[in-house]
Amino acid sequence: MVPITHFLYLAIVLFMMGVVGVLVRRNVLIVLMSIELMLNGANIAFISFSRLWGDLGGQVFAMFVIAVAAAEAAVGLAIVVSIFRSRNRADIDDVSMLRD
């Protein structure tokens, strides 16, 4: 049987890939995808523990996260589209108007 630590390592690797992606990439689309990656890392951790302890709570959480991720993707893409329309590029460093 595959020990739980393997699943957790996978989750961490996915999550860190997402983090690094958000941190270093400037394209908004890539950033959104990296966020999805982080969410899925978290999902894998949830499901692993759910398996480990025989508790369905973790899997329910994962379902919620997927639903939220879908909503977030929809809103996020809409924002990306409107940003792109307004300035013909989608660089996350340009979008800092809410600073003030």
Partner 1 sequence: MTEPSLNLHWIPLFPLLGAAFNLLLGAQVIRLLGDRLGKEIVHLVAIGAVAFSCFSSFSLVQDQLIGVGYERMVQQVYPWIVSGNVNIGFDLMIDRLSAVMCMVVTGVGLLIHIFSVGYMANEPLYHRYFAYLNLFMAAMLVLVLGKSLVILFVGWEGVGLCSYLLIGFWFSDEEKATAGRKAFIVNRIGDFGVILGMLLIFSVVGSLDFDAIRSVCSAAENSPFVTTTIFGVSIATVATMCLFLGCTGKSAQVPLYVWLPDAMAGPTPVSALIHAATMVTAGVYLCVRLNFLFALAPLTMAVIALIGALTAFFAATIGITQNDIKKVLAYSTVSQLGYMFIAVGFGAWATAIFHLVTHAFFKACLFLGSGAVIEACHHNQDIRTMGELRKKMPYTAGTFFVSCLAISGIPPLSGFFSKDEILLHAYVNYSHWSVGLNVVAYTLGMLAAACTAFYMFRLYMLTFEGKFRGDHHTWSHYVREHGIMSGPLLVLAVLAVIGGFLGYPSALPALPLMAGGEALPHLLEHWLEPVTAMSATYGGIYYLGPRAGWFRDDHHHITHAAEYLLMGASVMVAVAAIGFAVWLYRDGPSKQVARWMESPVLAALHVWSYGKYFVDEAYDVIVRVVRFLAGVCYHVADALFVDGLGVSGTTGLVALVGDGFRRWHNGNVRRYLAVLLLGVGVVMGAVYFNPSIAQFGPTPLNSMDLGGLRPTLGAQRVRMRVLGFVEFTLGPKEQG
Q: Least Å distance between CB 73 and partner 1?
A: 17
CB of 92 to partner 1, least distance (A): 6
Exposure on the CB side of residue 78, measured as CA atoms within 13 A: 5
CA atoms of 45 and 30, how far apart (whole Å):
23
Piece of 48-56, 62-70, 73-81, 83-91 that binds partner 1 (CB under 8 A): 48-56
The residue behind tokens 């394209």 is: 27
**C-beta of 55 vs 68, nearer to partner 1:** 55
Tell me the closest approach of the beta carbon of residue 10 to partner 1, in angstroms.
12
CA distance to 41, 61, 98, per residue, from 64 (Å): 14, 5, 29
Q: Which amino acid is at 38?
A: M
Residues 60-99 close enough to bind partner 1 by CB under 8 A: 92-93, 95-99
CA 83 to chain centre: 20
The answer to whether 1 contacts partner 1 (rule: CB under 8 A) is no
Interface ranges with partner 1 (CB under 8 A):
4-5, 8, 12, 19, 22-24, 26, 31, 49, 52-53, 55, 57, 92-93, 95-99
